[in-house]
Structure 1
Amino acid sequence: MVTKEQAPRASGEKEEGCPPEYIVFDEERGEYICTLTGEVVEETVIDTGPEWRAYTPEERTRRSRVGSPLTHTLPDYGILTTISGYRDANGRKLEARLRIEASRLRRLQAKLRATTSIEKNIEQAAREITRLVEALNLPRGIIDTAMMIYRQAAEKGLVRGRSLESMAAAAVYAACRIRGIPRSIDDIAEVVKGGRKEVARCYRLIVRELKLRMPIVDPVRYVSRIVSALRLSPAVERRAAEILVQARKMGLTAGKDPAGLAAAAIYIAALELGERRTQKEIAAAAGVTEVTVRNRYKELVQKLNIPLPAQ
């Protein structure tokens, strides 16, 4: 039995009389059943899954008749097959002569995978983006999003005459913004040679030419990382998040650097709870200037009417 959210629903289904969260799908009978009343909500549902069963991951891999999902990290999206290993279809090792031939075919296939200049550039960018993601300890899912952005920029001719490293870093930063990962452009610029100015220029070019709509970053996402760097208590993290939620409701976060707002909220929360940290320490952990922390701190205290203990 799987829940309603885990199984596809047919068109025209009716749910009157039973809350959706209590409806489950019986895979054996092909029926949607209400667990409160036992009523069959819908029957004879078409099973869209495979006709075979597998009880182990190895058995599932062996019986599956589909390939790997498409990926933007390869010039051909991963459509072409890859020659790998030195065994035949039955799992037996190849003879020495056949191993040499397989090695030659593998090198030839690697060359044919990327033939045009754009495909070769995308192949190099995939390696650079993977390096950046690993250096910044970002989720692996960022790689595919960043490669999708970089591929669009390359196909539009935006990478011509520009540093591949800076364009790759800009694509990673754009992917972090889209996926809601709290990383500033300064964090990403630290692991590239071009510097912040060049990465920022490439990022603005990508956003403008590809017409990307970047979501507004929630300052609350920065709180956990800054608190962890300063070794503050979970109580400070919760209080800082509450301050930022109040500030957002009053419209105080619009147009402000989210890292600076998070740093100011943490400074206020630390003062309230007696875990004092200097503005210099908090600014260094957040990657902003002391002036930013001081200005945001004064604004939050004044607008939210936060009483602070005597310093």
Structure 2
Amino acid sequence: MYAIRRETGFTTRFTEGGSTTPRSVAKAHKRGAYELERVTKERRYEIAARRLLTSYGIPHHITEEVITLLEKVHKENMLRGRNSRVVIAALLMHVSKSRNAHLPSEVFEKIAGAPLKRVNRCYRMLLNSGVITPTQASKPRKPSQVVVSIASKQEVRDVFLKQNISLSLVAQFADKAYSKLQGRKPAGVAAAAVYLTLKMVNSRKAQLEIARAAGVSPLTLRRALKHLMEKLDVEISI
């Protein structure tokens, strides 16, 4: 160690081979490096989330909301030790509920790369932590509204026009069927009503196609269709 004595009377000591950077500057540099690393990680999560959601056809406005919430989760340091894909799926579940966007459970499972129960568990954790707030229970859509949504799809609309199927009659039929099928999802009943109608005119539309248009799983469609046929006392090959 050696010292340099200045005319002011102060002595500055240096350690040979040591750093001459003032502590305040070193701390600022360290803090800046940490912030840069945090922003870089945040950006990496954002890119991965956008790519993942886009690959499954999630609408742009919903994707942006999920990414905004993901940034909040990252700032709260809640991604550490957790599967980021499960968190993204849980945030998507929250946004889809708040926007009344019906997504099949398979979408959440594929995005998470995990069973739906893990996504639900993560969703509850985010709610309890206060990162996301519970969505107000929205009034469920009527089956007739879902029928209109399904019929707006190009492939289904073409069949309706070609076979001269009355959309209003199918919508009324779905609402009446829903009133008799207690405990069934409106979207499931609507999908079953549309599928049954198309089946009666010998259309070969797949259950998966109708289910996706309704925002339900094929299993939900089949269950609703089974109950619907029991009530109507009809038999078709499903």
Selected match of 2:133 from 198, 211, 216:
211
Q: Aligned pair in 2 of structure 1 residues 127, 211: CA closer, same or farther (>3 Å)?
A: same
Unaligned segments of structure 2, at least 5 residues = 1-31
Q: Aligned partners of 2:54 and 2:227: how far apart in 1?
A: 37
SS in 1 for 2:35: coil
Number of matched pairs: 193
8 Å Cα contact 1:224/1:237 also seen in 2: no
- Distance in 1 separating the partners of 2:37 and 2:94: 24
Query: Displacement, 1:161?
Result: 1.6
2:188 aligns with one of 230, 250, 260: 260
| In 1, Cα distance between equivalents of 2:166 and 2:126 | 34
1:131 is aligned to 2:58:
no
Separation of aligned partners in 1, 2:207 and 2:152:
8
Gaps of 5+ in 1: 1-111
Secondary structure class of the residue paired with 1:190: helix
TM-aligned CA deviation for residue 173 of structure 1: 3.1
TM-score scaled by length of structure 2: 0.57
CA distance in structure 1 between the partners assigned to 2:166 and 2:121 by the alignment: 34
- Partner residue of 1:275 out of 187, 196, 202: 202
For the aligned residues, what is the CA RMSD? Answer: 4.4
CA contact (8 A) 2:195 2:210 kept: no
Q: Distance in 1 between matches of 2:166 and 2:78?
A: 41
2:160 to 218, 234, 238: 234
Letter in 1 for 2:52: L
Structure 1 residues 266 and 165: alpha-carbon distance in aligned structure 2, compared to 1, 3 A threshold: same
Q: CA deviation at 1:141?
A: 1.2
Distance between the aligned counterparts of 1:118 and 1:225, measured in 2? Answer: 47
**1:138 aligns to what SS in structure 2?**
coil
**Distance of 2:171 and 2:36 partners within structure 1:** 50
User: Is the 8 Å Cα contact of residues 170 and 194 (structure 2) preserved in structure 1?
Assistant: yes
Q: Partner residue of 2:122?
A: 202
Partner of 2:70: 150
* Cα distance, 1:237 vs structure 2: 8.9
Structure 1 residue 127 displacement after superposition: 1.2
The answer to which structure has the higher helix fraction is: 2
1:293 to 206, 221, 225: 221
Q: What is the aligned counterpart of 1:224 among 150, 157, 166?
A: 150
TM-score (norm 1): 0.46
> How far apart are 1:264 and its partner, in Å?
1.6
**Among the aligned pairs, what percent are the same residue?**
19
Relative contact order (alpha carbons < 8 A, sep ≥ 6): 1 or 2 greater?
Answer: 2
Computing the radius of gyration over CA atoms, which structure comes out larger, 1 or 2?
2
Distance in 2 of aligned mates of 1:176 and 1:154: 20
